[in-house]
Amino acid sequence: MIALIDCNSFYASCEQVFRPHLWGKPVVVLSNNDGCVIAANREAKALTEIPMFEPVFKIKEQLSKNNVTAFSSNYTFYGEMSQRVMNILHQFSPHIEVYSIDESFIDLTGIISAEPTVYAAEIRDRIFRYTGLPVGVGIAKTKVLAKVANRIAKKFHKELNTVYVIDTEEKRIKALKWLKIEDVWGIGRQHAKRLQKIGVHTAYDFTKLSPGWVRRYMTVVGLRIWDELNGRPRLGIQELPKPKKGIGTAKSFGKPLEDLSLIEEACAYYISEVAEVLRAQKSCANYINVFLHTNRFSVKDAQYANSITITLPVATNDTLSLIVAAKKALYQIYKPGYRFKKVGVNLLGIIPQEFVQGNLFYPEKKNVQALMDVFDRLNYKYGKAKVYSALCGNRKKEWQLIQEERGPRYTTRWDELAVVQTKKQSP
DNA sequence: TCTGGGGTCCTAGGACCC
DNA sequence: TCTGGGGTCCTAGGACCC
A216 CA vs C2 C1’ separation (Å):
38
* pLDDT of amino acid A53: 79
* pLDDT of amino acid A48: 64
* pLDDT of amino acid A324: 92
In window 243-282 of A, residues with CB < 7 A from nucleic chain B are: 244-252, 256, 277
Check pLDDT > 70 for residue A33.
yes
Q: Torsion over CA of A82, A274, A279 and A14, rounded to 10 degrees?
A: -10
C1'-nearest nucleotide to the CA of A100: C18
In one letter, which amino acid is A391?
L
Predicted TM-score (pTM) of the model is 0.89
* pLDDT of amino acid A211: 92
Of A248, A138, A144, A247, nearest in space to A187 by CA: A144
Percentage of residues in chain A having pLDDT higher than 90: 53
What confidence tens digit (pLDDT) does each residue in A389-412 have? 998 887 777 777 777 778 888 887
What confidence tens digit (pLDDT) does each residue in A245-296 have? 888 898 888 888 999 999 999 999 999 999 999 998 888 998 888 888 888 8
A361 sits within 7 Å of strand B by its CB:
no
A182 CA vs C14 C1’ separation (Å):
18
* pLDDT of amino acid A308: 85
What confidence tens digit (pLDDT) does each residue in A322-375 have? 999 999 889 988 989 899 988 999 998 888 888 887 777 777 788 899 999 999
* pLDDT of amino acid A34: 85
Residue A122 falls in the annotated catalytic set: no
Q: Average per-residue pLDDT in chain A?
A: 89
Question: In angstroms, what is the C-alpha Rg of chain A?
Answer: 25
Q: Which of A15, A43, A97, A103 is catalytic?
A: A103
A307 sits within 7 Å of strand C by its CB:
no
Percentage of residues in chain A having pLDDT higher than 70: 97
What confidence tens digit (pLDDT) does each residue in A64-122 have? 888 999 999 998 899 999 999 999 999 999 999 999 999 999 999 888 777 899 999 99
* pLDDT of amino acid A395: 72
Least confident of A25-29, A33-37, A53-57, A358-362: A358-362
A171 versus A33: which is more confidently predicted?
A: A171
